[in-house]
Amino acid sequence: LGHLIVEQAEAIRDICCRFPDVLTPKLGVTKLLEYEIRLTDTRPVRSHPYKLAPPKMETLRSIINELLENGVIEPSCSGYASPAFLVPKPNGKSRMVLDYRKLNSQIEIDSVPLPDLHSAFDWFGKAKFFSIFDLNQAYHQIPLKPESRPLTAFCVPWNLYQFTRVPMGLAVGAQTLTRLLDSIFHDVKFKFVFNYLDDLLVYSESFEEHLTHLEEVLFRLRGAGLTVNPEKVSFAQSEISFLGHLISTRGVCIDPARTQAIRDFPPPKDAKGVARFVGMINFYRRFIPNIAELAAPLNLLRKKGAKFEWGETQQTSFQLLKEAVMQPPVLAMPE
């Protein structure tokens, strides 16, 4: 809070002191819904556990013990079994991932639209103060109906477990979280709060108004039984990084911290590499004038049956798109 004057910092601390049950690393559990998994095919899906080296086995065992202690999973006798494995995190640690591809192919689709990040920028208007909240393991704060739990069963070399909360990797997890947060903030969304899945942005035109908005958001989260990671909260900023963008009183631009991956992207060797690069660029398409024209030589390589040939035309397109991302404009927000 060093960027604020003393009185403003004290006001923020006062709010934090009044919501210790929300601003906590402890995992919450919402009181507003129990999610039910609906299937289009009820034949159980099974897989064998993946083999793991002894060090990874111990890492996985530690992760599972923590999930058991937090009540997120429980031992299972289900006829379903999806495999679990580990993937590295940027900090050098590992996280558990569930291979729910077989189960997901049987889950009934939920057509609720996910939030449109780029359209949301048009609603920030004259905002001068921005705060960000990140829900603690958001999916794990949504309980599953008891009859749905056996469907989430996953196998490890020594046992079978099932989730009591919505697991990561489930086909409709994002839609379920979107429905939950829409039910909490439906009447104030785009007025002073916007969420993209578990990331919440609170924005206001004055500091006094911002205090009111922060208190309202925390009050609603408390009522829903949800908690926020206190280490990932950022309060009352005039410029803030949100989902790969810098938002400020001047407008919205690409966050320079996120352009490194594009800057370092090597010339693609195949159509799959082209698709990856174009996908990264398209996320920032609103900042790139004439993007369709600039990317046309690359998009031709993505067409079905196209022969992959990387020549001067493709390299020029590749380089111009990189340069456009490196020097993006600041887009003013409508008032």
One domain, residues 106 and 227 = no
Identity of the highest mean pLDDT range in 12-21, 47-56, 299-308: 12-21
Average pLDDT over residues 174-179: 94
CATH number at residue 238: 3.30.70.270
Cβ(34)–Cβ(144) under 8 Å?
A: yes
> Is residue 184 in a domain?
yes
Which of 253, 287, 305 is the endpoint of a domain? 253
What is the Cα–Cα distance from 132 to 240, expressed in whole angstroms?
Answer: 8
- State yes or no: pLDDT of 35 exceeds 90: yes
> Residue 193 domain-assigned?
yes
| Among 212, 235, 253, residue at a domain's last position | 253
In a domain, 247, yes or no: yes
- CATH number of the structural domain spanning residue 61: 3.10.10.10
Condensed to tens digits (0 to 9), the pLDDT of residues 55-77 reads 899 999 999 999 999 999 999 99
Confidence of residue 90 (pLDDT cuts 50, 70, 90): confident
Considering the domain boundaries, does residue 36 fall inside one?
no
> Which three-class secondary structure state does DSSP give residue 251?
strand
Domain that holds residue 188: 6-27+113-142+172-253
- Domain assignment of residue 106, yes or no: yes
Is there a domain that residue 332 lies in? no
Let me know if 95 is exposed, middle or buried by CB neighbors in 10 A (0-12, 13-18, 19+).
Answer: exposed
Dihedral angle, C-alpha 89, 240, 119, 205, nearest 10 °: 150
* One domain, residues 199 and 246: yes
Condensed to tens digits (0 to 9), the pLDDT of residues 206-229 reads: 999 999 999 999 999 999 999 999
Domain match, 263 and 291 both: yes
Q: Identify whether residues 247 and 119 lie together within a single domain.
A: yes
Length of the chain in terms of residues written: 335
3 state SS of 108: coil
Residues 81 and 150 in one domain: yes
Comparison of pLDDT for 314 and 91, the residue scoring more: 314
Same domain membership, residue 117 and residue 210? yes
3 state DSSP class of 290: coil
Same domain as 118, residue 225:
yes
Both 106 and 138 in one domain: the answer is no
Q: Which one of 225, 253, 281 terminates a domain?
A: 253
Confidence of residue 250 (pLDDT cuts 50, 70, 90): confident
Locate 95 and state its tokens. 């996280």
Indicate whether 118 and 249 sit together in one domain: yes
Cα angle 109, 113, 117 (rounded to 5 degrees) comes to 140
Q: Is residue 49 part of a domain?
A: no
Q: Are residues 67 and 130 in the same domain?
A: no
pLDDT for the residue numbered 333: 66
Residue 335 lies in a domain: no
Give the total number of structural domains in the chain. 3
pLDDT of the residue at 114: 83
Q: According to the model, what pLDDT value does residue 155 have? A: 97
DSSP state of 329: P
pTM of the model: 0.86
Q: Is the domain of 20 the same as that of 102?
A: no
Same domain for 232 and 261?
no
Percent of the chain at pLDDT > 90 equals 78
For the cut 80, the answer to whether the pLDDT of residue 122 exceeds it is: no
